[in-house]
């Protein structure tokens, strides 16, 4: 699986959140310094986790909600937290599944900026 495949998977899962006119090329340029971790469910690309320092974003296609967060992914995220001392993420206030997931995973909302909720795990 190439970096381009992972960017495409993240984009396909998250593009609904971006303004009109924002393209996959913009997304790829804006995330050029980020790491992308594959999320595979039953052999299919379910999406990707994006990591940049302590900031993580889980970009998962709706068809895989509630099926993708394996023990292996949890361990990888916890290793990343140990490396950085904390984790942060952002969730659109309208993304019920995203809010539910990060709160279940252990993140706590620390700030509300308009349509974006800022979460942190310490």
Answer whether 34's CB lies under 8 Å from 14's CB.
no
Query: What does the pLDDT read at residue 46?
Result: 96
Query: What does the pLDDT read at residue 102?
Result: 93
pLDDT along the chain (122 residues), means of 10: 96 94 98 97 96 97 90 94 97 90 94 96 96
Query: What does the pLDDT read at residue 77?
Result: 95
Query: What does the pLDDT read at residue 97?
Result: 87
Query: What does the pLDDT read at residue 66?
Result: 85
Going along the chain from its start, the domains and CATH numbers come out as: 3-121 (3.40.630.30)
- B/e letters for 81-114, b = 16+ CB within 10 Å, e = fewer, are beeeeebbbbbeeebeebbebbeebebeeeeeee
């Amino acid at each position: 699986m190439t970096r381009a495949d992972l960017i495409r998977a993240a984009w396909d899962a998250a593009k609904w959140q971006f303004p009109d006119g924002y393209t996959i090329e913009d997304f790829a340029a804006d995330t050029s310094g980020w790491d992308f971790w594959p999320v595979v469910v039953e052999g299919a690309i379910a999406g990707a986790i994006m990591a940049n320092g302590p900031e993580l974003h889980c970009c998962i296609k709706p068809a895989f909600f509630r099926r993708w967060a394996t023990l292996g992914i949890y361990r990888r995220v916890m290793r990343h937290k140990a490396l950085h001392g904390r984790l942060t993420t952002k969730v659109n206030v309208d993304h019920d599944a995203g809010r539910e997931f990060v709160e279940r995973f252990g993140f706590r909302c620390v700030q509300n900026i308009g349509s974006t909720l800022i979460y942190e795990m310490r």
